[in-house]
Structure 1
Amino acid sequence: MDNHPNIENENGEQQEAQADEQEQIDAAAAAAETKRRHLKIDSVLARKGKFPLRNRKKINVLIEEFLVKLEDDIHDMFFENELTDADTYDALDSDRDTEEEVETALRFFPEVLSRRKDVYAGRFRYPIQELALAHDVQNGKYQCNVKTVLFIPIVARLAIEFDLFEEDERGGLLLGFGRYGDNTLHQLMLTDQTIEGDNREQQHEAVDDKFLQVLIQLRKLGLLKKEDIQRYDLLHCLCGEDYFAEKRLRFLVEWDPNALTQTDRFGHVPLDYMVRSIQGFESVFEYGIRYFPKKKGISLLFHTSNSWLTPFHYACKHFGYEKVKKIIEDTLGRYSSTPINSADALLSAAIDENVHLYGVYFLLRRDPDMLQKLLSSSPSSTSMAVADCDINININTNCINDTTDEVNSRKEKDRKRKRCID
């Protein structure tokens, strides 16, 4: 009786081994049959002229039909981006398909890259515009597509080689779409808003890694230029995403630190948008201090937008005043070897209409004796400016408590700024 379970296990293992062996035999037989058919087709085409007229005509029809269907299938390959079960997914996949294979297909049918397709309700897209995002059939939303995004550089390169778009469209990279005229570069700033589960941090990192690889490759090919970062508000877009994409942030900032000080159409600097992640807020602020240590870096905290709110206000609202204050002091402490020029920073904040007066108050709280020092050592014109600051400073920490209307106004602008995939 005790041996029965062992016998059953042995029988089960034998049956499983036999099934695997039979599957391998069937696969080998299918491969052999496929090869035989290919050789036969090659032979038929090589001796086509020896066939009767009727057969030659039929061969011509079949060849034309084959080429049309193959071209359509290659075109469809770029648009079938619905993420389904891994076992049934057979669309373009960089984990399986190589760049060489994709390039081979496109060199036979380059025109597919300039053919648009109605992807949804009259929304037409080119293949390059469908490689960064995927459609999640379970929730109907779009998410970042790590399976196809790596093919963007080769698609753009071949489109340029075959002269399929205008020169200023860079192989389709800069073609606008959607209600805000976003392009593929904007898509490469997106993070995934549909990721769930215990391993979501790893999935977010995978998206950041893959999208960064594309940006690096585009830069090497000369298809992503430094001026694009500010021209298309790329840093603003990245900072406005829900997930803190640390690697892409570093890539953009280290390439063009001045983008940290750029304002978008709403008057916001990138730091304004980094309010969904306290780590992201700290990183962007630290970059500001690293690249602009004397006065401009600290002033970014108090830059006023069209709504007269500042990154400092938004951060305090989302993370709390004490946490934000600690981040600021810790960051300034790490860069104590290149300390803020408090006097210049104070005067700059006082006369710059784009810097909130709370910035002046903040600097004075850090160095209460600064006004007296300036008044006793500065020329008369500077003394007048400092005195004017002193008269107008009647601020306390209550200024971080924005009104509901102001916050709602900011959220509405943020929604408009968010990159649209429609």
Structure 2
Amino acid sequence: MDDVNIDNDNNNNDDVEEQQLQHEEAATDQEQERIVTTSRHLKINSVLKRKETFPLRTRNKVDVLVQEFLNKLEDDIHDMLCDNGEYDDEYRGLDCNRDTEEEVEAIVLLFPDVLTRKNQIREYQDVDAYDYDEDEEDPFDVREFYPIQSLAVKCVGFYKDFVSNVKAVSFIPLLARLAIKLDLFEEEERGGLLCQGGGNKIVYNHYNVLENLMHSDLTYRSDDACKREHHEAVDDKYLQVLIQLRKIGLLKKEDIQKYNLILKLCGEYGHFSEKRFRFLIEWDPNALLISPNFNGSRPTIQRFQTVFESGIRYFPKKKGINLLFGAGHNLHFHKSGAGNRYYPFERACTGIGYEQVMKVVEDTLIRYLDTPINVADALLSAAVDENVHLDCVYFLLRRQPDVLVKLLSSSSSASSPTTSTLVDATAAGTNDNDNHSINNVNSGDLIIRKRKRG
């Protein structure tokens, strides 16, 4: 037994000695390479310094080689800023874990033209195999982007899908600031932040940098923990960029609505970026109230709860609750090709389930008991607004059944047009209560109540 232990100790000692020897050899090789490189640099400096003492042919050759060197170096810098490789050994772009802002600024100041030089990406487009004529049609579409646009998203794969560029996105404020300092773009383009992407045809991604900072990756990974970690990293990185741009005045409050940033953030089919959403809504709560033609993404509990809770928080009297049932708001509204309207409540019930949706709604309202809803105003608004689903009327009446009596009694001296409209709208639904009750809404079979118009 002792002999076996002695042999094991000897083997372990031999392994340790071998590893130490390898480390020493590697250190020696690195030092030798450093010495050789330094010697080359010194020799090049000496050649350039003494060039005028050389024969004519040598002087001309030095000029040619210097120009070639500068051209290749500039090309490589541009490639680094626009790298669209995967995050593996092939990726040679900027990396915030390796490169510093000081290093990037130093090289850009020497080669400023790289910031206004576009990068071309050939993306395969779907072409009908039966109609395709290779002599007349090109199956590829050429997209062109400035380097600052490539820092927000990367085009990867054969079809050039857009994914988040987590390693390089943090350099966007620096490049924008340098471009403004060097006067490389028009003033209204803000250092390239507002330049649009483009191609030969109508392409999916024609957004500017601010819009691309709303990007979220698809849930393409199989491990849930890995997905969460990745999406949280994306949300954190992109949020920090938005904060920096705001601090230096390159992200303005009016940009949120002008470029529909909330719409694009909620419309991503990937992970819902809650941190970026809260940052933008806290800055401009009115962005919740815009009503675009929103082709909504897949509903999730997190997305629905966060947006509805924000509506109640910032607009507790009536608009917040109407967001739940209003057509065109940011809770997942979209309008189909046939012209049918899908309301947030309806779409959420379809995608998530009626019981879960109602639990989110009730739990949210309970958390905001200190800012109670003005049921009367909300009810009147829901009754007369054609963009608010009639389910809103039923929902409010169920929560406060006596509100209608109070409204009628308060206007007993004269029936106002608004109250009359409320009575008509409520009666229209009540007369057909068996078929149109909000209780009939469930996750698999939604009944859409249509307003009667005179």
TM-based fold match above 0.5 = yes
| SS of aligned partner of 1:243 | coil
Q: Higher relative CO (CA 8 A, sep ≥ 6), structure 1 or 2?
A: 1
Counterpart among 413, 437, 444 of residue 396 in structure 1: 437
Q: Is it true that 1:229 corresponds to 2:262 in the alignment? A: no
Within-5 A mapping of 1:112-151: 112-120=114-122, 121=140, 122-136=142-156, 141-151=161-171
| SS of aligned partner of 1:78 | helix
What is the identity, as a one-letter code, of the residue corresponding to 2:179? A
What is the identity, as a one-letter code, of the residue corresponding to 2:227? R
Counterpart among 95, 98, 112 of residue 97 in structure 2: 95
**Structure 1 CA distance for aligned equivalents of residues 351 and 390 of structure 2:** 21
Deviations 1:172-204 (A, max 9, x none): 221222525322222111111134434221111
Counterpart among 236, 239, 246 of residue 266 in structure 2: 239
Q: Is the 8 A contact 1:313 1:402 kept in 2?
A: no
| SS of aligned partner of 2:121 | strand
Q: CA deviation at 1:288?
A: 0.5
Q: CA deviation at 1:15?
A: 1.0
Q: Is it true that 1:338 corresponds to 2:371 in the alignment? A: yes
What is the identity, as a one-letter code, of the residue corresponding to 1:229? I
Q: Is the 8 A contact 1:274 1:281 kept in 2?
A: no
Q: Is the 8 A contact 1:175 1:183 kept in 2?
A: yes
Q: Which moved more, 1:384-393 or 1:292-301?
A: 384-393
Q: CA deviation at 1:5?
A: 3.0
**Structure 2 CA distance for aligned equivalents of residues 207 and 401 of structure 1:** 32
RMSD: 2.3
Deviations 1:27-57 (A, max 9, x none): 1111122122212222222222222322222
Q: CA deviation at 1:399?
A: 5.0
Within-5 A mapping of 1:189-228: 189-193=214-218, 194-197=220-223, 198-228=225-255
Deviations 1:39-91 (A, max 9, x none): 222222222222232222222111111111111111111222212435x6433
Counterpart in the other structure of 2:306:
283
How high is the sequence identity, in percent, across the aligned residues? 52
Counterpart among 162, 167, 189 of residue 169 in structure 1: 189
Q: Is the 8 A contact 2:83 2:91 kept in 1?
A: no
Q: Cα distance 1:282–1:21, how it changes in 2: closer, same or farther (>3 A)?
A: same
Counterpart among 67, 71, 78 of residue 68 in structure 1: 71
Q: Is it true that 1:182 corresponds to 2:207 in the alignment? A: yes
Q: Which moved more, 1:361-370 or 1:43-52?
A: 43-52
**Structure 1 CA distance for aligned equivalents of residues 20 and 233 of structure 2:** 36
Q: CA deviation at 1:161?
A: 2.2
Q: Is it true that 1:362 corresponds to 2:385 in the alignment? A: no
TM-score by length of 2: 0.83
TM-score by length of 1: 0.89
Q: CA deviation at 1:118?
A: 1.7
Q: Is the 8 A contact 2:96 2:167 kept in 1?
A: yes
Q: Which runs of 5+ in 1 are unaligned?
A: 407-422
Counterpart in the other structure of 1:292:
315
What is the identity, as a one-letter code, of the residue corresponding to 2:212? Q
Q: Cα distance 1:367–1:404, how it changes in 2: closer, same or farther (>3 A)?
A: closer
Q: Which moved more, 1:169-178 or 1:200-209?
A: 169-178
Q: Is it true that 1:380 corresponds to 2:415 in the alignment? A: yes
Q: Which runs of 5+ in 2 are unaligned?
A: 123-139, 329-334, 431-435, 449-454
**Structure 2 CA distance for aligned equivalents of residues 297 and 187 of structure 1:** 28
Q: CA deviation at 1:401?
A: 6.6
Q: CA deviation at 1:206?
A: 0.6
Q: Which has the higher helix share?
A: 1
What is the identity, as a one-letter code, of the residue corresponding to 2:173? P
State the number of aligned residues.
Answer: 400
Counterpart in the other structure of 1:16:
19
What is the identity, as a one-letter code, of the residue corresponding to 1:77? M
